[in-house]
Structures are given as C-alpha cells and as structure tokens.
Amino acid sequence: MVSAEQLAALYPATPTEASLVKESATLLPGYRARGDPAPLLVVQDERTLLLPDRRGNNRLDSLRNVVADGRVALLCLVPGKNETLRINGHATLSSDPALCQRLAMDGKPPVTVLVIHIEVVYFQCARALLRSGLWQPERWPDTRTLPTAGSLLREATQGRFDGTSYDAALPQRQRDTLY
C-alpha cells in the first residue's frame, strides 16, 4: 500500500454521518481503538507483528497516517495488569488475501492487515494506571452522569445530528457490526 487512492479502493464504503461529524477543532472525547479476543497482535517473527484492521467506521484516519508516514506507536493494555507494553516501529498495510483470511474472525477477514516492523519494545511503569484506578471499579466515576455519544455528536453539530436515534440504535448496531 503506497497511496491514499489504493487505500480508498479497498474501502469503498462511505463513512457514516456520525463518523464524519465526530471530528472537532475543540476538545471532545475520542480515540482510535483496536481490540480483539486474545491474541490481538499476532507475532509473525521476533521483529514483526500483525494487526488486523477489523470492521469500523470507514474514516480510515489511522490507516491514512500509516500510508502517509509509516511510523506507529502502540500502547498495549491487558485487563487487570498495571504495566503496559509500548511498541514503536514502522508499519505497512497489506491487503494480501491469504494473510487477511489467516486473520479472519467469525469467518470475516479484515480488509487490510497492519504489518508492524518493531524498532523498540518496552514496558511502561504502572504508576499512571495505579493512580487512575483503571482496573478498580469502585474508583470509577458514575457513568450515568456522562454524556452519550449521540448527545456529543448532536452538540458537535449544533443539533443537526439526531443523537437520540443514534443512541437508541447503538446497542443493536454494535452487535450487528462487531466483525
């Protein structure tokens, strides 16, 4: 993969309205998550990891960054563990059908696979996670008081986005589009 045009040809679906309006010039909660049942990262060899790109919102922000620059930094979290594993390196995207099929989940292969060439791996100390209480539910905030994704999208679009319908359909949409 060497161009944004090649990437767009592999992902012809148009991003949803919610995906397009989530970007803001002001501070809004956001992340580009990747996750799977273990193992999320597949070890190809001692210096190469494979990370399948599962179904998502088709915005392709992270994948465009890889195509444009290639540098990657991963922060690997394991539930219940306070240390994190940091991996820095360079990546390329592969759409090789055999590789994608090898990494299929529930019979659905990824469209692309991130091939990560490791430059440095290290553990991050546990202090930040210990201070945050990330794995301690008794320290978590009451999420009932937090805004929903739909309400944030409605606010970001000054009411043009139907956040109520988005929130109502979200649980079923997540189940239907997991893989």
| CB atoms closer than 10 angstroms to residue 118 | 18
Return the CATH number of 4-16+27-131, one of 2.20.25, 2.30.110, 1.10.260, 1.10.3470: 2.30.110
Residue 100's pLDDT is 95
Stretch (H or E) spanning 72 = strand 71-76
State the Cα–Cα distance between residues 106 and 177, nearest whole angstrom. Answer: 12
pLDDT, one tens digit per residue, over 3-40 is 888 888 888 777 777 777 755 443 233 334 456 676 67
Q: Please, which residues have CB within 8 angstroms of residue 160's CB and are 6 or more apart in sequence? A: 21
Of the CA atoms within 13 Å of residue 153, those in its CB half-sphere come to 18
Residue 166's pLDDT is 96
Closest CA to 126 of 89, 87, 80: 80
Q: What is the mean pLDDT of each run of 10 residues along the chain (179 residues)?
A: 82 76 44 59 88 81 90 87 87 96 91 92 84 91 90 93 96 88
Nearest-Å Rg of the Cα atoms of the chain is 18
